[in-house]
Copies of this chain bind each other. A is one copy, B any other.
Amino acid sequence: MDLTMELRHLRYFTAVAEALNFTRAAAQLRVAQPALSRQIQDLEVEIGVDLLRRSPRGVTLTSEGKLFLEETRELLKRADESVAKVRALARGEYGELHVGYAPSPSVEVLPPALAAFQKAAPRVRVVRHDLASDEMIARLLDGTLHLGITVEPSADVSGDILFEELRRYRFCVALAAGHPFARKKSLKLEEIASQPLVGLSRRDYTEYYQLLDRIFAPVKTRPRIAVECDGSTSMLTELEAGNAIGIVSELFRRIAGRRLVYRRVSDSIESHSIGIARTKKRDVTPAGEKFCDILRQVARELRHEKTKPKG
């Protein structure tokens, strides 16, 4: 036997069960009373159970009718909610958003973006994934990640990856306040190269050495890395000791703050950018698009902030 029960039957039944009167329920539903009468009859025949007791003064619910009313209300509510959820998902206001991020590079844009996004789309669960650059790309490609906030990936891995720059940071020299160079306003590449440098470990951070090559390309001298650190924290410690200076991103200031001083490199324009990474193929969900919009807005505000005097 085919079930042909439709939501219409349920809508009609709840109306009658609530009005306890076919005529009034029909008026409310904007259908004629006989049409309503017949639909309810069809429903009862289909279920095979009397749901209503008719009388010349209206109707009463049988105990089966009472149970069915509860069920029916719940069902109609859930049907509405289902549609609402799907619409919310399409508007980017529902669902999950998996965002990969590199903690240090994203330090400036991510926290305010997350805050703004949660305010704009509170029903979206944002799942943050702290990932290294290569793993982030892998997970963007396999679809477990919607977006990544990262430094610009090198061309050889970014085949199916789209990168959109949000912020560009120059490199500068970080050093302890007591270091002799701290008296200078800016430094030249030759000067820097004459000093022993604090850097990241050659094994784990090959891209750092590629960067140094780029920075020092204009001059003949090559810098000497006297101390190799395994991360920005140990680098900070080493620099604070005051024995050496280091080439770092402007962003370093955001992380390390006022414990060090920073000096421009007068004869270098090298910079790196951080931004949004996503796949070219797979569509970013609406929530992802919304998050991108907010990231762009945050980046725009950060740019304007810089031109204003510090608060």
Contacts and interface: CB of A to CB of B under 8 A. Distances in A.
Interface of A: 3, 5-8, 47-49, 51, 63-64, 67-68, 71-72, 74-75, 78-83, 85-87, 89-90, 95, 285
A285 B63 CA distance: 8
A235 B231 CA distance: 89
B87 A48 contact: yes
B85 A67 contact: yes
A169 B262 CA distance: 105
B7 A87 contact: no
Given A67-B86, A75-B82, 4 more contacts: A48-B87, A63-B89, A63-B285, A71-B85
The main secondary structure of chain A at its interface with chain B is: helix
Copies of the polypeptide in the assembly = 2
Contacts of A51: 86
Nearest to A78: B75
A51 B6 CA distance: 21
B8 A90 contact: no
29 contacts: A3-B80, A6-B6, A6-B7, A6-B8, A7-B7, A47-B83, A47-B86, A47-B87, A48-B87, A48-B90, A49-B86, A49-B87, A49-B89, A49-B90, A51-B86, A63-B89, A63-B95, A64-B89, A67-B85, A67-B89, A67-B95, A68-B82, A68-B86, A71-B78, A71-B82, A72-B82, A74-B78, A75-B78, A75-B79
A74 B81 CA distance: 12
